Amino acid sequence: MHTFFTRANAILAYTVSVAGFLTFFCFLSTVFLDYRTNATLNTVKVVVKNVPDYSASREKNDLGFLTFDLQTDLTPLFNWNVKQLFLYLTAEYETKANHINQVVLWDKIVLRGDNAVLDFKNMNTKYYFWDDGNGLKGNKNVTLTLSWNIIPNAGLLPSVSSYGSHTFAFPSEYTTSRVR
């Protein structure tokens, strides 16, 4: 009648089909959840310097330095379908040269099982805050926002922004001393 390989193929195809349908229904159980939560951000120290950009142009550009406070509880975001969160802090501002500037200043990965209550004080940025010109000095409308990507077991990879942001201003004078 049927060979061993024919029967094994039928069992394997059936098993994969059932696993696929179960995975899809598990994905549906979390796709409509709201993955936003509150985050409290604050800047502690804000400084701007005018330094040479050591690329091909050799022009002087603005380099911002800031320290920040961050408090948030990400525990409610974890469910059976969330493996990890990739957090990132962005600064968004407008200059004469560009209508929208977005810069990632800091990031962190929070795994399931890690402490998801973040309470950071006086944190330094992880990445440089370069502007492609002189748009930071005296800029009064720089907004910090905490966002995250959810890495699921099955399904979509949503990018979510927190409730709450922080707007601050850079000083109108360059700092010439060494920044600590």
Nearest to 26 by CA among 156, 176, 165: 156
Query: Which residue do the tokens 């795994």 mark?
Result: 111
Report the C-alpha gap between 128 and 95 in whole angstroms: 18
Give whole-number Cα distances, 4 to 9, 13, 150, in Å.
9, 14, 43
Q: Tens place of pLDDT for every residue, the chain, 180 residues?
A: 679 999 999 999 999 999 999 888 888 888 889 999 999 999 999 999 988 877 666 788 889 999 999 999 999 999 989 999 999 999 999 988 889 999 999 999 999 999 999 999 999 999 999 888 888 988 999 999 999 999 998 888 999 999 999 999 999 888 877 665
Q: How far apart are CA 73 and CA 158, in angstroms?
A: 18
pLDDT at 31: 85
The model carries a pTM of 0.85
At residue 94, the pLDDT reads: 92
